[in-house]
Amino acid sequence: MSTIRSCLRSITVLLLAAGSLACGVASAQGFPNRAITIVVPYPPGGTTDALARVIQEPMQKLLGQTVIVDNKPGASGMVGTQLVARAPADGYTLLMPNNALAISPHISKDAGWTIRDFAPVSMMSLQPMVLITNPSVPAQNVQQFIDYAKANPGKLDYGTAGPASFGHLATELFMQQAGIKMTHIPYKGMGPVTQAILSGEVKVLLSTASGQFNQFVNEGKLRMLGVATLEPTPLAPGVEPIAKTLKGFEAEAWFGLVVPAGTPKDVIAKLNEAVVQSLQMPEVKAKFQAIGAGTAPMTPERFGARIADEDVRWGKVVKEARITAN
C-alpha cells in the first residue's frame, strides 16, 4: 500500500508540474492581449517623451496591440517612476527612464525605489556628454583645459540644468578624475544654461551632444573640447574622446524601458524583441539621430548590468561630492 501511495503522490506532482508548465506557455502565447502603457516620468516635449513617441508606432505593429505613451511628470521624474514600481508585474505597464533611475535613490530619500524594484527590458538610446567652453577660455583641447583649470582653482564657473542633474554629476566626475575645482552655477533647465554659456556668464558646460551645440561650434560661438565616450562618435563629429586624456572617462545619458520586478521572463523577452526590431528600422534610426540620439538596443541582461554599474558609480560620485537635490 505504501508503494502505491508513493506512486500516486509522484503522479500527482508530475501532473501539477505539467499543468504549471502549460499555464506558463499559455501566458507567453497570450501576451499581449490588451493595450500596453509606456509611462514617461517627464512632461511632453522633452527627449524622453520624443523618443518614446518614435518607438510607439513600430512597437504597436510588432506586438499587435495599442501602445499608449502616458506622461506622468512630477518631482524630477519620481512620481511616474514610483507609479510603475507599484504597478502589476504583468508587462502591460512599462517605464521609460534615463540615468535618474540609478541616480535619484542616492540623492533623495523620497525616491521610493531602488533599481531592484525594476526589471530591464532594453536600452533604447545613448546620448554622449560633450565638454563645451565659451571661446574666452584659453584652451583648444582637454589637456589645455585641465591645465588652465588647475592654474585657476575655483575661478571657472560651470553651468548645469539644475542641482543633481546628470550634467552636474558628470562634471563632478570630470573634476574628480582631472583633479580640478570649478564653481557650480545651476540653472532651471537647458534653455537658460545654454544662453549662459553663449553669453559667457558661465565658461564651461558638460551636456548631451546635440545638433544645436554642433551648430554653435561651427559658427565659432562655442568650443567643443571633448566627448565623454571611449571611442569617437558620429553624434559629435571630429571631437576626440575625453578618455584619451582622462583614462576611462565616460558619461552618456541613456534612455530605456523597464518593467516592475517580478515580470515573467518570457513576457520581458517579447517586449525586448519588439524594441530591438523597432530600433533596427532605418526610419526609427533617422528619427533618433534627428533628436541627437543614437539607437542602442540591448539584451535585458546587458542593460541590467549597465544600470547596476551606474548605481555604484554615480552613487560614489554623489557621496564624495555631497550632492543634494537642493
Looking at the DSSP bridge assignments, the partners of residue 109 are none
What does the pLDDT read at residue 162?
86
User: Do 227 and 143 sit in the same domain of this protein?
Assistant: yes
Say yes or no to pLDDT of 215 above 80. yes
| Position 5 in a domain | no
User: Do 157 and 217 sit in the same domain of this protein?
Assistant: yes
Rounded to 10 deg, the angle between the 282-291 and 47-63 helix axes is: 170
Domain extent, residue 72, equals: 33-125+253-321
Domain at 182, CATH number? 3.40.190.10
| Position 14 in a domain | no
Please give the full DSSP string across 93-128, using - where no structure is assigned: EEE--BTHHHHHHHH-TT----GGGEEEEEEEEEEE
User: Do 37 and 109 sit in the same domain of this protein?
Assistant: yes
| Position 267 in a domain | yes
301: buried, middle or exposed (CB in 10 Å: 19+, 13-18, 0-12)?
Answer: exposed
User: Do 61 and 99 sit in the same domain of this protein?
Assistant: yes
User: Do 120 and 132 sit in the same domain of this protein?
Assistant: no
Say yes or no to pLDDT of 9 above 90. no
Question: Could you tell me the sign of the dihedral formed by the alpha carbons of 53, 59, 61, 63, in that order?
Answer: negative
Express as a percent the part of the chain with pLDDT over 70: 91
Say yes or no to pLDDT of 14 above 50. no
| Position 9 in a domain | no
| Position 208 in a domain | yes
126 residue type, one letter: L
Q: How far apart are CA 152 and CA 294, in angstroms?
A: 36
* Residue 54 and residue 287 in contact, taking contact as beta carbons nearer than 8 Å: yes
Last residue of a domain, one of 223, 244, 265: 244
Last residue of a domain, one of 244, 261, 284: 244
| Position 6 in a domain | no
Say yes or no to pLDDT of 18 above 70. no
Mean pLDDT score, 94-117: 93
User: Do 113 and 258 sit in the same domain of this protein?
Assistant: yes
Last residue of a domain, one of 244, 277, 310: 244
